[in-house]
Amino acid sequence: MVWTLLKWVLPLLVLVAVAGALFTRKTFHVETVIAATPEEVWAVLTDTASYPEWNPVFVEVEGAYAEGGKVLNKVRDPDGKILEMTAEIRALRPAREIRQYGGLPGIITFDHQWILKPVPEGTRVMQHETDRGIYLWFWNSDWIEPSYQSVFTALEERLTSN
């Protein structure tokens, strides 16, 4: 009896886990306009050595932004804990886009983009991220968009102080 029950329940649980890993996703998007050229914004974003001086979330990046290369992002969560995430640079278009991808497929992955667009007032700066995986069922991600917004505030301050 128990074996018969396990024969049906176990595959069902595996199917739910696989479906969750494949189809569960969360998207985060924040944007602002900064009174600076895309080239000026780009210069600050790609100067990862200076991140500890101004960036409240991405407190350190080890490695250089180069398409196909890898970087180690050290991210501060709201509790002050530093999370380390290795990312592959999937796109690097000067003064336009940085796209990073990383994580554990099926468990949690991230596809994070910085997008810069010139506008009459300066530069529209966007952070867009799509996370996927079963871990999203258990993770409270309410802090992501407010944290990314705090990066915009710090980025703008950095640009105006230079």
Contacts of 161 (CB under 8 A, 6+ apart): none
| Cα dihedral sign, 27-90-38-40 | positive
Q: Dihedral sign, CA of 106, 108, 114, 117? A: positive
Q: What is the pLDDT of residues 98-151, one digit of tens each?
A: 999 999 998 999 999 999 999 999 999 999 999 999 999 999 999 999 999 999
Domain ranges (residues) in the chain? 2-161
Secondary-structure class of domain 2-161 per CATH:
alpha beta
DSSP-derived 3-state class of residue 48: helix
CA distance 10 to 14: 6
Predicted confidence at residue 141, as pLDDT, reads 94
Confidence label for 57 from pLDDT (cuts 50, 70 and 90): very high
Q: What mean pLDDT comes out for the span 1-20?
A: 62
Tens of pLDDT, residues 108-117: 999 999 999 9
φ, ψ dihedrals at 65, nearest 5°:
-70, 115
Computed over every residue of the chain, the mean pLDDT equals 91
Instruction: Say if residue 9's pLDDT is above 70.
Output: no
23 pLDDT band, cuts 50/70/90, is: confident
Distance of alpha carbon 116 from alpha carbon 84, whole angstroms: 25
Distance CA 28, CA 15 (A): 27
Asked whether the predicted pLDDT for residue 92 surpasses 70, the reply is yes
- CA separation for the pair 127, 113 (Å, rounded): 6
